[in-house]
Structure 1
């Protein structure tokens, strides 16, 4: 009996001095932070690699109106990752909209902050993580960015199960406008746009310009337009133009126009309808398909 007790005491003593090793992801890394207010949403800037879940619709109508509590320089909402200069610090975590939407988000750049370069406008400036299950409603507006969109100005991550109903427009010289993202090199699936999208250079229902990546199960019903006096403008129901990648099981029923106010002999305007989608699976650029 004494011998057994001695063995038990020895084991207890051993455990008390040997450090416990935890296998797997830490609790902090697993933690999902709940977003309920605009202040909660803006605090994502403090940790752009975190995991977040939207717990309710967020109405920005009054707060991003001129003079509102979250009116940045008179321009409305300051995109996440903007860093006060409309920059593009990437979001690298997970943002789950949880089936909720952003209401009345106003971004209308009339004033440019000191130190700004290329202008990124959207709920997020740039996404390298995952944004999912989120909507931007029809009372929202995004205007006057170089890269502009309802969800994220620039995407090199994953966007899925999202929609945009916010009108997106830009009159800047080289501008990329899209419902889900302005510029893409990532993957977008199960997303749609119902808003009017316009730009001087590249304009698309889902994305203005795509360097690579994949679009799957997406559609557009909004009016898509480019209107330029110097650039070669591109418009597309899904994407204004692409270098490579796939567009799978997508469709467009929105009107598409691409016009030039003033052009040199070498300048041509391009627009794309559903023919663009079938060719894109082969990695063919829009300028090889249909000239208007």
Structure 2
């Protein structure tokens, strides 16, 4: 079966639930508390002794990781970090310093060029691209990860040239169960109706290739964030970039590999997205054709359930979320995206929708 390509076609798989939303605020709070209790002790923090240092590299724990953690001074052009008086960001170094104050509020006052930065680490993520808030047991690659709980006002400016390239036979620090997240931000759990607004992410490259994977792994890829809940997103766009993911397996390994990609977000829950668009392509390929392209015989169905590729122009999946006045003009390419025959999904706006019926896509 040929791969399916969608540009502006919306593929919605709506799951109408009779009960209250499963992913409630209480559940999210419980998940956050559980993660904090189980988080490894190696933390990415700003301390007074390093606050005045120039840009440096701190990589001891992460030797061999695909990215280098750079410490930058926690100094900005102005502001106090509150919602009414956000920190003002003018440089790439100041943008990087957001990771040392994930609960604060920020505003761009200039375009940010990341083209010479090297591999970008998601804000709240790690050099190994760990940072999964959702996993039951933290992995070595998650050490020091955090969640962005503040707000970010692009103020009409763009972040350009973000580069994330991870080409390895297998994931770095691979363990029995793993998640790898590639985006500008890691997980976003804003408080008090915080937001991301008036932001453009342009001319970026996210290129992931793992050809001999041995471990069970979720690969979560997006331009802005791999997961957001309770977020207001307004007047944002992603353009001129490219998301590319390729996977394969090591020999006869039967590891589970799920690829989830969104133009702006991988998953977004209990949120509102208004007047946003994506015009960058998402391309997922795989050498696991015998796994991905399965039918309903018992053996091949079991193999196929070990592989999944899902993508959407705005988000791979939205749950209990309103999307209004949004558009996708980017190509979405997913292997064997034929709903009902495999775990592959592709959609122009969203790959999969979980809703109560009234929470849909408008305009």
TM range (shorter): 0.5 to 0.7
1:225 shift after superposition: 1.5
In 1, the alpha carbon distance for the partners of 2:92 and 2:350 equals: 31
Matches within 5 A, 1:29-40: 29=82, 30-40=84-94
Which stretch of the first structure deviates more once superposed, 207-216 or 109-118?
109-118
1:210 shift after superposition: 1.8
Provide the residue aligned with 2:360 in structure 1.
Answer: 246
In 2, the alpha carbon distance for the partners of 1:108 and 1:153 equals: 16
Question: Is 2:259 the partner of 1:149?
Answer: no
Provide the residue aligned with 1:103 in structure 2.
Answer: 160
Question: Is 2:242 the partner of 1:167?
Answer: yes
What secondary structure, in the 3-state scheme, does the structure 1 residue paired with 2:246 have?
A: coil
1:195 shift after superposition: 0.8
In 2, the alpha carbon distance for the partners of 1:175 and 1:232 equals: 10
Provide the residue aligned with 1:206 in structure 2.
Answer: 314
In 2, the alpha carbon distance for the partners of 1:96 and 1:217 equals: 19
1:28 shift after superposition: 6.1
What secondary structure, in the 3-state scheme, does the structure 2 residue paired with 1:101 have?
A: strand
TM-score, normalising length: structure 2? 0.54
Provide the residue aligned with 1:220 in structure 2.
Answer: 328
Q: What are the superposed Cα offsets for residues 181-208 of structure 1, whole Å, 9 maximum, x if unpaired?
A: 0111122111100011133511111011
Q: 1:51 aligns with which of 105, 111, 116?
A: 105
Question: Is 2:173 the partner of 1:114?
Answer: yes
Q: Tell me the C-alpha RMSD between the 2 structures.
A: 2.2
In 2, the alpha carbon distance for the partners of 1:211 and 1:226 equals: 21
1:233 shift after superposition: 0.8
Change (3 A) 1:231 1:143: farther
Question: Is 2:127 the partner of 1:84?
Answer: yes
Change (3 A) 1:92 1:35: same
In 2, the alpha carbon distance for the partners of 1:193 and 1:208 equals: 13
Change (3 A) 1:158 1:170: farther
1:169 shift after superposition: 2.5
Provide the residue aligned with 2:266 in structure 1.
Answer: 182
Change (3 A) 1:59 1:239: same
1:171 shift after superposition: 2.7
In 2, the alpha carbon distance for the partners of 1:231 and 1:127 equals: 30
1:231 shift after superposition: 4.3
What secondary structure, in the 3-state scheme, does the structure 1 residue paired with 2:179 have?
A: coil
Provide the residue aligned with 2:199 in structure 1.
Answer: 134
TM-score, normalising length: structure 1? 0.67
What secondary structure, in the 3-state scheme, does the structure 2 residue paired with 1:90 have?
A: coil
1:164 shift after superposition: 0.6
Give the length in aligned residue pairs.
Answer: 211
1:228 shift after superposition: 4.8
Tell me if the contact between 1:84 and 1:113 (Cα under 8 Å) persists in the aligned partners. no
Provide the residue aligned with 1:71 in structure 2.
Answer: none
